[in-house]
């Protein structure tokens, strides 16, 4: 349905007015006091740092080899072109034009969908509860790497069991189903202490070393975010670029290892039959979605600090390509080392590449590093890379929550950012305590599966519907034109209206139909924990229908009048600009 707001008739036909709007850098919610990113690169590095995270290093390589090797790149590329990148571009454009966070932005788009903003904030909190714990694990490894002999090299440590078995440097080793590598026992028994827990029924006590590591992580996060994007925009110059330096160092080292070619062949060997499997396409869609990260409110928040006429179209293309290429590069880094391990163990590559989660980073790769020349150096830079990859994403995720809440309640929080950020960090730290117990890894897995699983995909699905169908694709394209001077083409319009929502619906339906048993190590999650997981997922999404009912109930008039008001933007761009810019020449 086509709708025209009062005072906006002819906006896009009046180049003088549009030019003035761009020159003055005016947009919704933008005031002179609002922070601005100092440089263009601050924004690009912030977005790249958020999009490129730990998942690029472990999830993409595993999914690629599991789903047809080089053949997987075909569905991955298709899903990126028609699903991931259009959604990425949409969020950057929305944030830059409306210049406000994920909650208050819905007043200017479609007020009845404002619950999406609250859902995004709750999902952001759930992610912070477990994601920073993974960074704390990396910090623990980083500290442990400062030793002449890495502690996960041998089986002669107090935490090792009689089942500990090391392949490297030995012959005639008998490996059974009960055998454990030194790296695995260091991770599960020393770092996690998971053997002391009885599943989620009894998670045991707190691990004080991890508590200290997490405290350090949140301290870094606080002092990077407390002053706003001007501070975090400088920090990402280190945290977003250092991982690429380390990746290239590790790639060169991995390529020189014996058997590296075996890993590369295994990684890229195409299995064309896999393309007929629906699961492969589901995995490709899910991977590109979670890799680019639309829906978390981060792109909205970061883009809202851009100049009004910034070329967000070019930014979307650049950052999407960098993200995808980083995932592809990480695959070479990981599989050269897996090929080396297969060579040393005299087994097939698939026998050492069974883990798709954090275990790949905390067991498999460290085990290979421990048996390299210069193992201490490579361990230090590897875990430093993991820490910086994780911190970037944490900065973006929490900045999304901070921007959303501060923009929604400016009269209360505008001059109290430091105190508000401190309170938010304390909440996140407190919420993470359960993940620091001896059974904390079970909690991390539960939150990872349900805290930001189907709920975030459903949120983005409704966001795409609200923008394309309720706000109107023509109005949205006019907004983009007022910023960039050109309107998105037919390809982008078709993707936003039909293809991208179908892409998201495809992931949602496939995920709901395919619910494999949830397991971690040898522990299968009981039914009651799965129920708890669904409640966690529902606790964020439920805010969308709750707010819809609230909005309709408190809006005066008949039901038809209420509905009309609730789907019509409360404010237009002209409401935020001087009267002189609202004047339109009449032919």
Binding residue numbers for Na(+): 49, 51-52, 56, 291, 323, 389, 392-393
CA distances 327 to 63, 71, 116, 416, Å, are 11, 15, 29, 39
Q: Round to whole Å and give the CA distance between 310 and 302.
A: 12
Burial class (CB in 10 A: 0-12, 13-18, 19+), 520: middle
Cβ distance 435 to 493 under 8 Å? no
What number of other Cβ atoms are within 10 A of residue 47's Cβ? 29
Dihedral pair phi/psi, residue 232, rounded to 5°:
-65, -30
User: Is 310 strand, coil or helix?
Assistant: coil
Q: How far apart are CA 131 and CA 432, in angstroms?
A: 9
Q: Which residues contact 547 (CB under 8 A, 6 or more apart)?
A: 112, 114, 115, 118
CB 12 within 8 A of CB 479: no
Burial of 302-317, coded b for 16+ CB within 10 Å and e otherwise, reads: bbbbbbbbbbbbebbe
Task: Pick the closest to residue 452 from 580, 320, 541, 565 (CA basis).
Answer: 541
**Cβ burial, residue 236 (10 Å; 0-12/13-18/19+):** buried
Considering Cα of 161, then 167, then 173, then 175, what sign does the dihedral take? positive
Binding residue ranges: 49, 51-52, 56, 291, 323, 389, 392-393
Question: Is residue 520 within a helix (H) or strand (E), and if so which, with residue range?
Answer: strand 519-520
The DSSP output letter for 437 is B
């Amino acid at each position: 349905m086509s709708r025209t707001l009062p005072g906006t008739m002819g906006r896009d036909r009046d180049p003088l007015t549009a030019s003035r709007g761009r020159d003055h850098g005016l947009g919704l919610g933008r005031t002179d006091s609002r922070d601005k990113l100092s440089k263009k690169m601050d924004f690009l590095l912030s977005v790249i740092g958020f999009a490129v995270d730990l998942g690029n290093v472990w999830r993409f390589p595993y999914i690629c080899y599991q789903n047809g090797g080089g053949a997987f790149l075909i569905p991955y590329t298709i899903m990126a072109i028609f699903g991931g990148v259009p959604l990425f571009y949409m969020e950057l454009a929305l944030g830059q034009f409306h210049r406000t966070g994920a909650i208050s932005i819905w007043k200017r788009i479609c007020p009845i969908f404002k619950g999406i903003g609250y859902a995004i904030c709750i999902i952001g909190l759930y992610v912070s509860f477990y994601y920073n714990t993974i960074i704390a694990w990396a910090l623990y490894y980083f500290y442990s790497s400062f030793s002449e002999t890495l502690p996960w090299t041998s089986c002669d440590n107090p935490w090792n069991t009689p089942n500990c078995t090391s392949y490297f440097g030995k012959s005639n080793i008998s490996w059974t189903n009960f055998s454990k590598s030194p790296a695995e026992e260091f991770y599960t028994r020393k770092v996690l202490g998971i053997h002391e827990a009885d599943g989620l029924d009894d998670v045991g006590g707190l691990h004080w070393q991890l508590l200290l590591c997490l405290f350090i992580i949140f301290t870094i996060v606080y002092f990077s975010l407390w002053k706003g994007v001007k501070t975090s925009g400088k920090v990402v110059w280190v945290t977003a670029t250092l991982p690429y330096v380390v990746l290239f160092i590790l790639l060169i080292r991995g390529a020189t290892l014996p058997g590296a070619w075996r890993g590369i062949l295994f990684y890229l060997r195409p299995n064309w039959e896999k393309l007929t499997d629906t699961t492969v396409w589901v995995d490709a869609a899910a991977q590109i979605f979670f890799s680019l990260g639309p829906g978390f409110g981060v792109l909205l928040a970061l883009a809202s600090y851009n100049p009004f006429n910034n070329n967000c179209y070019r930014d979307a293309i650049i950052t999407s390509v960098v993200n995808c290429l980083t995932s592809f590069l990480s695959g070479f880094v990981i599989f050269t080392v897996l090929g080396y391990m297969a060579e040393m163990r005299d087994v097939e590559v698939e026998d050492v590449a069974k883990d798709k989660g954090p275990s790949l980073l905390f067991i498999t790769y460290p085990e290979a590093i421990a048996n390299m020349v210069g193992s201490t150096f490579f361990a230090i830079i590897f875990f430093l890379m993991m820490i910086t990859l994780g911190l970037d994403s944490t900065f973006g995720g929490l900045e999304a929550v901070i921007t959303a809440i501060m923009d929604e309640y400016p009269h209360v929080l505008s001059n109290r950012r430091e105190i508000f950020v401190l309170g938010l960090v304390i909440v996140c730290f407190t919420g993470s305590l359960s993940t620091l117990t001896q059974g904390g890894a079970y909690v991390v897995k539960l939150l990872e599966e349900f805290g930001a699983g189907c709920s975030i995909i459903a949120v983005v699905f409704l966001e795409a519907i609200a923008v394309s169908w309720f706000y109107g694709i023509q109005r949205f394209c006019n907004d983009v034109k007022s910023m960039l001077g050109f309107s998105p083409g037919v390809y982008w319009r078709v993707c936003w209206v039909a293809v991208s929502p179908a892409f998201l619906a495809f992931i949602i339906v496939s995920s709901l139909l395919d619910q494999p048993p949830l397991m971690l190590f040898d522990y299968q999650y009981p039914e009651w924990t799965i129920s708890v997981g669904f409640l966690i997922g529902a606790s964020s999404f439920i805010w969308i229908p709750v707010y819809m009912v609230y909005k309709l109930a408190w809006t005066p008039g008949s039901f038809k009048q209420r509905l009309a008001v609730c789907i019509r933007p409360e404010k237009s761009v002209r409401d935020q600009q001087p009267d002189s810019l609202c004047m339109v020449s009449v032919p």
